[in-house]
Amino acid sequence: MVDIKEIMSKAMTLRINRKFQEAHAFVTQQSTLHEGLKGILWQHDPVFWSDIKAGICLLTRRNGDDAPFINELWDKPDFLHSFHRHAPKLPKRRQELVDILEREFVSTIGSACSLHWIVRDRKFAPWGVLSLVDLSLTHRRAEVMLGMMPNSPAGLSAAAMFVLFQFFFRIMKFNKLYSFVYDDNPRSLQGALHLGFVVEGRLRRHVVDPRTGDHLDLIQTGLLASDAFNPTTEKLMQRLLRPRALPGRSIGQ
């Protein structure tokens, strides 16, 4: 009998070669022989690597081909200031960045504890990055981070978040999204509240602003599955995401 490490290695090889259906089928087959694989089988579902399209928004999993766009974004200080003020610097060599993005892309959520998408419009033009980080399988929660170029199409950032709501809560069946907002960014906080997030607390003088060296408060906001689809957000979803084209099934452990 093949051991689990060998099975995972072969599944990884299939994913590296973009054979996500084959990787899922292989792990499914092996799970009948190895009881320990059943708990991680769902992490190999091809839906995690599929494009998600709804209305004016398309989300594509970030990968090595997106290195030029990531470099473009990271070269914009204002973008990083609003998206992730403490984002690590990118490697100087383009191939190193390609390799990092590829490893991230082919990993399962259990090993990477994250998911990253490029936010695109209907014409496939990239406008931003949407990420789930510190993703907890145990607690079924994740921190969400969204960064958009300032000239992105109207409504695209909200549409990206609504697509994420449906994927995260209805397909992945997770329980909670949360985000951290800098105290000096009231616009970001207003946007989160408009999408249904609620303020859960304030971390006083919690981080240093890299531009000024000042300590800033962080405001934590959260959104539960039970609150994500209220009448206000449903109305906005219908306007921005119609016609809906998300995968028509849920996945889970």
The model's pLDDT over 129-150, given as tens digits with 9 standing for 90+, comes to 999 999 999 999 999 999 999 9
35 band by pLDDT with thresholds 50, 70 and 90: confident
- Three-state secondary-structure class, residue 229: coil
Q: Which residues pair with 23 in a beta bridge?
A: none
User: What are the boundaries of each domain within the chain?
Assistant: 1-44, 50-241
Closest C-alpha among 216, 217, 212, 215 to residue 199: 217
DSSP one-letter string for 47-68? GGGS-EEETTEEEEE--GGGHH
| CATH class for the domain made up of 50-241 | alpha beta
pLDDT of residue 65: 98
Residue 248 reports pLDDT greater than 60: no
Residue 243 reports pLDDT greater than 60: no
Residue 207 contacts residue 218 (beta carbons within 8 Å) = yes
Residue 253 reports pLDDT greater than 70: no
249 band by pLDDT with thresholds 50, 70 and 90: low
The model's pLDDT over 194-226, given as tens digits with 9 standing for 90+, comes to 999 999 999 999 999 988 999 999 999 999 998
pLDDT of residue 4: 85
**Stretch 178-193: mean pLDDT:** 93
99 band by pLDDT with thresholds 50, 70 and 90: very high
19-23, 80-84, 173-177, 218-222: range with lowest mean pLDDT:
80-84
The model's pLDDT over 67-95, given as tens digits with 9 standing for 90+, comes to 999 999 999 988 998 899 989 999 999 99
- Three-state secondary-structure class, residue 218: strand
pLDDT of residue 234: 83
